Structure 1
Amino acid sequence: MRQLRIATTLALAIMPLTMVSADTYTSSQGNFRLETVASGLEYPWAIAFLPNGDRLVTERAGRLRVIRDGKLLDEPVSGVPDVAARGQGGLLDLLLHPDFETNRLLFLSYAHRNAEGMTTRVARAEYRDGALHDLRVIFEAEPRSGTSRHFAGRLAIPADGYLYVAVGDRGERDRAQDIGDDAGGVHRITIDGETPEGNPFHDEDGSKTLFTLGNRNIQGMALHPETGELWSHEHGPRGGDEVNVIEAGTNYGWPVITYGINYNGTPITDQTHKEGMAQPLHYWDPSIAPSGMAFYTGDDFPQWQGDLFVGALKMQKLVRLELDGREITGEEDLLTDLGERIRAVSMGPDGHLWLLTDDSDGKVLRVMPAK
C-alpha cells in the first residue's frame, strides 16, 4: 500500500469550512445544510435504514430506538441482549443483512461482561413488529479482559456474503500481534457464526476466524461502491489515526510500527515501516479520533461522487477525502463550527449522507442541498 505524507503536508491544503448561516455551510464544492431528523438520543452509535422507511439507531447505554415518520418513538425495541455500558463499551454497531426485506435478519455488536471480564460480542436476531426474536450470540472475542477500552465493533458484509467483525486491542497493545488472540484484528465468520474455509490463519495454531491483525481500534468500515473493497479507519494513540483497505492475512503493524506516540509524549516505537507490515493509505497527525465512514454515492452533490467521508470525535468535524483509486489526493474539513463529536457517517437509501452526534443529547442529522 502506498504511504501518504502527514495530512498537514498534503499537496492539496486542507480547506477550512465557512459557516454561511445558522444551518447552511459551504465547502469548496458548494453549499449544504443540516437537517435535524431526531434528537434526545443517549450517545447514539449506529443507524440502519429499513425498507419501510423506519430507521433503527443504537444507543450505547443498551437501547435500540426507532425513528418513524420523522419522530423518535418513546418505546425502544425489545429483546436487545444484555450490554455492558462501561467505559467505551455498550451497544455498538448495527447491520442489516443484505436480504433483510426477506429474512428480517440484523446483527448487533456490543460489549459484554461476566466474571472473567469484558469482551466484544456479536448477536444475530430477526426484527419483527418492534422486537428482536430468536436472538443468539454468533461471535465472542477471546480471551476476555478487565479493561473497558477499544472494543472496536464495526460490522460489514461484503459481496462474499461473510460477516466481518472488527475487534480492538482492548487497550493491551501487544495482543494485536498474537494470532492466537482475537483482540486487535478483523474477523470473518458466516452469518451463522461458523468459520469459513479459506480464512488466512485457519490452518495455523491461532484464531480460526482472524482475517487481519495489527489493528488498534477500528471505528469505521465501509464498502467501496465500485470495487467492493472493505475500507476501514482506526484510532492511533497520540497521532497515527489510519485509513486502510482490509485484505486477507494483512498485518497492519500495531504496535510494532505506528505514526503515533504515547499519550504522555514518549515513543511507542522508533519504526514507521517494517517488511511484512502494511502502510496506511493515509494517516492523521495530530489525531482526529475518526469514527464512522461512508463513500458518497448520492446525486445532490455530483462533485462529491466517490469521496470518502469520515467523522471525527476529538476534532469535532466531518472530513471529506478525495480519491484517485486508492490514492487520497485531497482533504477538506467540514462542520468545524458545529461543535459536535461525529460518531457515525452513513449513506442512506434516500441518497443523502446521515450523521450521528456523540452526546448525551445525541442527534441524527441529514446532509441536504442548501435551499
Structure 2
Amino acid sequence: MGSAARTRRTLLAGLAACAVFATAACGSSAEGGSGGGIQSTIKIAQVQDQTGAIAYAGLGASEGAELAIEEIDEQGFLGPGVKVELAKYDTAGEIERASSEMTKAMGDRDVDVIIGPAATQQAAAVAPLVGRQKVPTVFTQAGGDGVVVNDYTFRATPPMESYYEQVLDHLKQKGATNISVLYNATFPTFALLGEDAVPEMAKARGMNIVQSLPVQTTTQDFAGQSQQIAQKRPDALVMLLIAPQSVTALRQLKDAGYDNRIVATSVQAAGNIAAAGADADGLVYPVPFSTAMDGESSVAFTAAFREKYRKDPTPYAADGYDAMWFIARAIKASGDSSREGIRQGLATVAKEGFTGAMGKLTFEGNDARIDGALVQWRDGKETLAQ
C-alpha cells in the first residue's frame, strides 16, 4: 500500500474516532430528532454553479463532496447498508435560476438536505425560502450578509472577513503604511471588504487607505486604475477581484510600473491565478484551505483527494468535503435523517465543532469559523507566506 493510501486510511480511522466521540457526546442516537431513524438511502441535493463564471466553486465542491460520500459509505459511518446519493442542480451563475433550482430540490420529498449556492447573491435570495420550506441547507463560500438568517441555514465556509485580519497583520509586519484598495463593488463579499472591513482593519493598525477604486463585475480593462495606483505608489495594494479580472489586472499593474506588494483573496487560490504567469509571483492571499497547510487533517485530505482524482484539491473541494462530513455527522448525532432530524443534528454538531479538511472548524451560531492560512504564489505553486 502506497503512502497516499496509508495516509487516507489514517484519515478514515480518524474520522471514525471523531464519529464515536460525537455520538457519545450527543447521547442516544435518536435524541433531538423526530424519531424517524436513518433511512437506507439519503439523498443530498447540491444546488450550485456547475457552469458559468464561477463554475470552479461548484465543480470543486462536487469533487470534495463525492470524496466524502465515498469515505462515508466505505466506513459504514451511518450504519450497515446506508448509502448517500448526491443530486446536482446547476444554478449557472443566475439568481433566478438559483431560486428555481432550489425550489425543485426542496419540492423533491426524497431530498433530505441541500448544499446551497456558493455565490452570495444566489444564497441570499434563497435563504428566506429555505426557512419557509424548512429544508436544512449548508452553504459553502457565499460569504456575504443575508445567508445565515434562520434555523435552517448553515454555512460551512467561514466568511472571508473573519480570516482576513491576517492579511493586514502581514502588511503591518512588512512595514506597509499607505495602502490602495481595488475592489469589485458588485461582488458582495468584496464590497464588504473593500468598503468596510479592510479600512477598519487598516485603521486599527495605524495604516492609511490612500486610494479606493471600485469596479464592476463586467469590468475587463484595468489600465486606468493601474495608472492611478502606479502614480500613487502605495506600499501595498489590496486587490479584491474575481479570478479572471485578477489575471488582467496583475498584467496591467506591471505594465503601468507598479511593483510593490499586492495581496488578494482566496478567489485567486488553487491555480486560478496561474494564467497571470510571472506577473502573479509574490501575490499573497488568505485561504480557508491550501495544499501548503501542514495540519494533520489537511494533509490527510490532500493525500486522499490526490489518490482519488490524481490532482491537487482546491479550497472549493475542501468546502464540499467538510460540508458533506458536517451533514453526515449531523445525521449520526441525531440518529434521524429526516429534514428536521438533520437540522437538529447540524445545530448539535455546530455547538461542538469538528476537524476537517480546513482544520478545526468552530461555529458562531450556524456560521463556521477557522484560522485559515496565509499563502504566497510563486513559480506556479502556493507556499505558506513568511
Q: Would the TM-score normalized by the shorter structure come out above 0.5?
A: no
**TM-score in terms of structure 1 length:** 0.28
Higher relative contact order by CA 8 Å / sep ≥ 6: 1 or 2? 2
**TM-score in terms of structure 2 length:** 0.27
Greater Rg, structure 1 or structure 2?
A: 2
Larger helix fraction of residues: 2
Larger strand fraction of residues: 1
